[in-house]
Amino acid sequence: MAGSADLFAALIELADDQLILGHRLSEWSGRAPILEEDLALSNLALDLIGGSRNIYTYAGLVEGKGRDEDDLAYMRLEREYLNCLLVERGNDDFAQTMLRQLYFAALMQPYWQAALASNDETIRGIAGKAVKEMAYHVRHSAEWVIRLGDGTAQSAEKMQAAVVEMHPFTEELFTMSEAARACAKAGSLPDRESLRAEWSRTIASVFEQALLTVPEVRFPQSGGRQGRHGEEMGHILAELQYVQRTHPGLTW
Amino acid sequence: MYSQGLIGSDSSTDETVEFLAAFQARIDAEEKIEPNDAMPEGYRRTLIRQIGQHAHSEIIGMQPEGNWITRAPSLRRKAALLAKVQDEGGHGLYLYSAAETLGVSREDLTDQLLDGRAKYSSIFNYPTLSWADIGTVGWLVDGAAIMNQIPLCRCSFGPYARAMIRVCKEESFHQRQGYEILLTLCKGSAAQKEMAQESLNRWWWPVLMMFGPSDGESVHSDQNTKWGIKRFSNDALRQKFIDATIPQAKVLGIEVPDPDLKWDDSLNDGRGGYVHGPIDWDEFWRVVKGHGAMNRDRIRNYKKTVDDGAWVREAAMAHAEKRAARKLAMAAE
Ligand SMILES: [Fe+2]
Ligand SMILES: [Fe+2]
């Protein structure tokens, strides 16, 4: 068994990824290019936020200090959030949002698939739900990346620009923190590095149909897993935590 | 949400007396009128206007509530609010589809909204300023919508009536959810209860205006009643709403801001009901005509959404055409 501190930290990485990406997707509510897509983006956000609640709740149990999902989601300092930088990037446009989703889900689908074999029953339960959701996220975002990549000249240009902008953030998806490594060794959570080949195949196949090229990334961006975030993270938390911080300790 | 007493409808029509009488007979027999049935031009025009206005209200109504999604105070509330706003978008979608059966496109209706020819409910021109507003909007705005829409489940036009049945179920869920937010606040700290009271103070009168002006002043409501589009007067619906709502406010322990409110045994055929103080109809007309706090923002935001999304819609269309062409070329080989 990995120590409970390791499992706690590794679960927080997972939950923070889901909460922050869900938060970003929820910012599209009422603003999507097509009404049907507005509803679809809310579904994606609801999957991620719903999943984060289960993971935070379990993390709180593992930690054993009586913190619940909201204590963990709302009452930490910026440096204590362990999400990767990819998920916190702002919604530049619809192309970038769909690409960000594809990059994330193309890893998390096989991740949760592998987690079905975890020796931790709660994690198997979380994975069972998440693996189906992530398969849909991959399908939905891939369809849009292909549509936009092989749509008009303008959409192709925006799509490729999004690839250039976002690709440097993908490397961090595979970062194995010490906590994550301990959990992988103990058999409670999958090894991200082992899923790289599958992720690359998915991306390559989508990019081929979308007429996109994978850029060479000489300087990958990372830091979120150590709690070093971009400037936008503080703004996300300012909104997220606003009510809880203004009136601490109440029930809502 | 929601349909408001129709603003500025024109139900004039010039079919033959026989045609109109035969149509009226179907309405009187409570038959449903379906999209391909013959119908008076005025009936079609009135429905397009009303369903369009209703659809626009759902869509514009996403803004004031969406304003709190990223600031919702717990994960449970955040998910529930996001799902609620999503439901409102879904209502807009069914309603645009119902309107399309009458021969008007979603794009045309959207253009009418953006250039001011079509209206939406005046209530969405008020801002949501506190978390309590999310509770109040659910409780009162969705609550008023239900009062307005339950009779529409029996509307003579089939697609509208069927859309309303589905929509009403979801609205009553929204209403309970909103009430539960306020219940939590009212059982909480003094600051939370004050937040709930302050919110009710701001929303109460605008919500009463949602039912539209007194029928004496409401245009063409007679014809709409004959055609089975409208079943109750604006005042009757408003009365029902107040009578249902005041006991709920008492449970919360907050008060509606109406010093003239009192019980009157003689109302509702002797069953009793609440008499309310005067409604500021000048405010109502000012907001309807575009001078409320949020009118400009609502339309500007929606226009930005429509404009910003144009390249995506064009790309989706271009891609679909390319695919179809490729398929055709493959079939030809
Ligand atoms: Fe609605
Ligand atoms: Fe609603």
Tens digits of residue pLDDT in A61-94: 999 999 999 999 999 999 999 999 999 999 999 9
Within 79-138 of A, beta carbons closer than 8 Å to B belong to 93-94
Length of chain A: 252
pLDDT confidence band for B65 (50 / 70 / 90) = very high
Which of A26, A55, A71, A94 to mutate to probe the B interface, most B CBs <10 Å? A26
Question: How far, in Å, CA of B81 to CA of B210, rounded?
Answer: 22
Q: Which chain A residues are Cβ-neighbours of B59 within 8 angstroms? A: 30, 35
Length of chain B: 333
Condensed to tens digits (0 to 9), the pLDDT of residues A181-195 reads 999 999 999 999 999
Residue B17 has pLDDT above 60, yes or no: yes
pLDDT confidence band for B217 (50 / 70 / 90) = low
Which structure tokens are listed for B213? 């002006």
Residue B226 has pLDDT above 70, yes or no: yes
Q: CB B86 to CB A38 under 8 A?
A: yes
Q: CB A152 to CB B59 under 8 A?
A: no
Q: CB B312 to CB A34 under 8 A?
A: yes
A197 to chain B, minimum CA–CA distance in Å?
29
pLDDT confidence band for B222 (50 / 70 / 90) = confident
By the CB criterion, residues less than 5 angstroms from ion ligand 1 are: B 1, 58, 88, 91
Residue B245 has pLDDT above 60, yes or no: yes
Nearest residue of chain B to residue A54 (CA atoms): B75
Of B73, B76, B188, the CB nearest to A244: B73
Which of B312, B321, B322 to mutate to probe the A interface, most A CBs <10 Å? B312
- When pLDDT is averaged across residues A212-236 and rounded to a whole number, the result is 97
pLDDT confidence band for A166 (50 / 70 / 90) = very high
- Residue B321 vs residues A98, B15, B29, B40, B328: alpha-carbon distances, Å: 21, 42, 47, 38, 11
- Residue A52 vs residues A48, A58, B21, B162, B212: alpha-carbon distances, Å: 6, 10, 61, 37, 43
B92 close to A (CB below 8 A): yes
pLDDT at B333: 81
Report which bound ligand comes closest to the CA of B143.
2
Question: How far, in Å, CA of A174 to CA of B83, rounded?
Answer: 32
- Collapsing DSSP to helix, strand or coil, B13 comes out as coil
Give the containing element (helix H, strand E) for B303: helix B295-308
B273 — phi, psi (to 5°)? Answer: -175, 180
Q: CB A46 to CB B76 under 8 A?
A: no
Mean pLDDT of the residues in chain B: 94
pLDDT confidence band for A101 (50 / 70 / 90) = very high
pLDDT at A99: 98
Nearest residue of chain A to residue B90 (CA atoms): A39
Q: With b meaning 16 or more CB within 10 Å and e meaning fewer, what string describes B265-300? A: eeeeeeeebbebeebeeeebeebbeeebebbeebbe
Question: How far, in Å, CA of B127 to CA of B4, rounded?
Answer: 18
Within 185-224 of B, beta carbons closer than 8 Å to A belong to 185, 188-189, 191-192
Of A43, A150, A247, the CB nearest to B191: A247
B90 close to A (CB below 8 A): yes
CA dihedral over A131, A136, A137, A142, signed as positive or negative: positive
Question: How far, in Å, CA of A21 to CA of B145, rounded?
Answer: 33
Question: How far, in Å, CA of B2 to CA of B123, rounded?
Answer: 10
A248 to chain B, minimum CA–CA distance in Å?
10
Question: How far, in Å, CA of B256 to CA of A116, rounded?
Answer: 54
Condensed to tens digits (0 to 9), the pLDDT of residues B130-183 reads 999 999 999 999 999 999 999 999 999 999 999 999 999 999 999 999 999 999
Residue ranges of domains in chain A: 4-246
* Backbone Cα Rg of chain A: 18
Residue B4 has pLDDT above 80, yes or no: no
pLDDT confidence band for B324 (50 / 70 / 90) = very high
Question: How far, in Å, CA of A35 to CA of B61, rounded?
Answer: 14
Residue B221 has pLDDT above 80, yes or no: no
CATH code, A4-246: 1.20.1260.10
pLDDT at A2: 64
Condensed to tens digits (0 to 9), the pLDDT of residues B77-92 reads 999 999 999 999 999 9
β pairing state of B273-275 and B262-264: antiparallel
Residue A43 has pLDDT above 70, yes or no: yes
Residue B218 has pLDDT above 70, yes or no: no
- Residue B171 vs residues B143, B177, B261, B267, B280: alpha-carbon distances, Å: 8, 10, 27, 28, 27
Which structure tokens are listed for B240? 């029902």
Give the containing element (helix H, strand E) for A104: helix A94-115
Closest residue by Cα to residue B33 from B155, B153, B151:
B155
The answer to pTM > 0.80 is yes
Condensed to tens digits (0 to 9), the pLDDT of residues B30-59 reads 999 999 999 999 999 999 999 999 999 999
B92 to chain A, minimum CA–CA distance in Å?
9
Of A151, A242, A250, the CB nearest to B315: A151
